[in-house]
Amino acid sequence: PLPEPFRVPLPVPPVARPVGTDPGGAELYRITQRVAEQEILPGLRTPVLGYDGIFPGPTIESRRGRPVVVTHRNELSVPTVVHLHGGHTPAEHDGWPLDLVLPVDGAHDGSGHHGMIGDSVVGERDYRYPNEQRAATLWYHDHRMDFTAPAVYRGLAGFHIVRDDVEDALPLPRGDRELPLMICDRSFTADGAFAYPGVDQSMRSLPGVDPEWMEGVLGDVVLVNGAPWPVHEVDAARYRLRLLNAANARRFQLVLTLPNGENLPMQQIGSDGGLLAAPVEHRSLLVAPGERFDIVVDFSLVPVGTDVTVVNALGTGSTSQVMRFRVVRPARDDSRVPDVLSEIEPLVPAAGATVRTFEFRRGAVSGHSGWTINGESFDPDRSLADIPLGQVERWRFHTDVHHPVHVHLDQFQVLRRGPGGPVDTDSGWKDTVDLPPYEVVEVAVRFTDHTGRYVMHCHNLEHEDMAMMATIRTV
Ligand code: C2O
Ligand code: CU
């Protein structure tokens, strides 16, 4: 039986503490990837693959312009790769899917990757993040070729928040009134283990899921920061919620529902790439896997004692609820949402700008039904696009079924969706954009600073593991 919703308090992942500073001023962190047991469902122990043994992993808080080096140590029995999603990261630190961190104890030599091993190391790897980017909610997660989905499902995901002075100067809610919320769905076995329908439970050599999950793996338990349908007591005041959809395949349509059936407005202040130019009000918010929405909710609009339930309008049964806020006390609140949040440089493709088309479709992958981009499955050695730095290009994404498309290295801007302009959830700098069936989405992209080999892919993690990923190169 599933646990009762709204009983478990909302956990907030601990903020990682730097272990030192290098001579160049970079802050140093150490994270150990290991298996640990965590009580997720009341009374049961769930083995998690955790950054520092916890799910979600520790939150890294960094400042724009101050580099961070994270040394990841792999004490698991399988190789790993760490990617900072949304990071403006040099290629060698971006988590190329074959740049493996092999287990420290030699338990796995990386074989099983089609003989293709990138720049792999045993035991530990330093990932250097320059943080030369706007303040934003980023997240880090596993990105090993063919095995991203089971690794993230079992716990390898955490927040990385970049802050800057521009944002600090705004009167937004902060401190206890700023919460990162990692939302995902999972299924569990009767004894509390994550039930991932992979064909190879050891995640050692055989990729893939049971054919019935080829569209993407869905669970029946909704977790927020690793707790099932949690409850959080709040002041009657504004809160800043940094929403992240970390589900493998589920899209959530979030509505803040009151007991009388009405709902509370959400002021969106930021998206994947940080603050918007101006706030956008939503009554419901569609969040696809990989996307972040930064919202402010004013709990003083309802009487003390009110339960505000976060509902998933796309869910059924147990997945139609997400969590609950309980407004427990009146409070003083000096925060507000300014009309102007930040400056966003519009990306305007020039008249003769390069146009590239990427088709995300079902297709044959080595004779089996799989997922492709432009008819091809992921080939690390073949670039689908060589993109000169500094040019604004027009990219068109075509699709068959739903695919949340994610591009590494730089955020982009949505220019067009279907026959019309962008919709209100497309505002700001995006790095992941939801493609509804048969809709063409056009974005303006511009890569800067770093040349090298990166990927773009579907962030439905089962699709990604089934090779819906492409190599792109910045030159
Ligand atoms: Cu969040 Cu390439 O991934
Ligand atoms: Cu997809």
Rounded distance from Cα 467 to ligand 2 centre (Å): 10
Q: Is the CB of 240 under 6 A from ligand 1?
A: no
Reference 242, options 282, 285, 295, 286; nearest CA is 295
For position 107, what pLDDT does the model report? 78
- pLDDT the model gives residue 1: 81
Quick one: which of 130, 103, 100 has its CA closest to 114? 100
Residue-level pLDDT at 368: 75
- Sorted by where each begins, the domain ranges of the chain are 20-164, 175-330, 355-474
Quick one: which atom of ligand 1 is closest to the CA of 408?
Answer: 2
What six digits make up the tokens of 33?
Answer: 């990837």
20-164 and 175-330: same fold?
Answer: yes
Q: Quick one: fold of 175-330? A: Immunoglobulin-like (2.60.40)
Q: Which of the ligands is closest to the CA of residue 149?
A: 1
Ligand 1 atom index nearest CA of 456: 2
Cβ atoms within 10 Å, residue 292: 28
Tokens 């009388």 -> residue: 260
Q: Residue 114's pLDDT is what?
A: 58
Fold entry, domain 355-474: Immunoglobulin-like (2.60.40)
Q: Cβ(160) to ligand 1 under 6 A?
A: no
What CATH topology corresponds to 20-164?
Immunoglobulin-like (2.60.40)
Nearest to 53 by CA among 267, 274, 226: 226
Residue ranges with CB less than 5 Å from ion ligand 2 = 403, 458, 460, 463
Alpha carbon 277 to its chain centroid, in Å, reads 22
Instruction: Tell whether ligand 1 has an atom less than 6 A from the beta carbon of residue 290.
Output: yes
User: Which numbered atom of ligand 1 lies nearest the CA of 85?
Assistant: 1
Give the residue ranges of the chain where pLDDT is below 70.
111-116
Question: What pLDDT is stored for residue 425 in this prediction?
Answer: 96
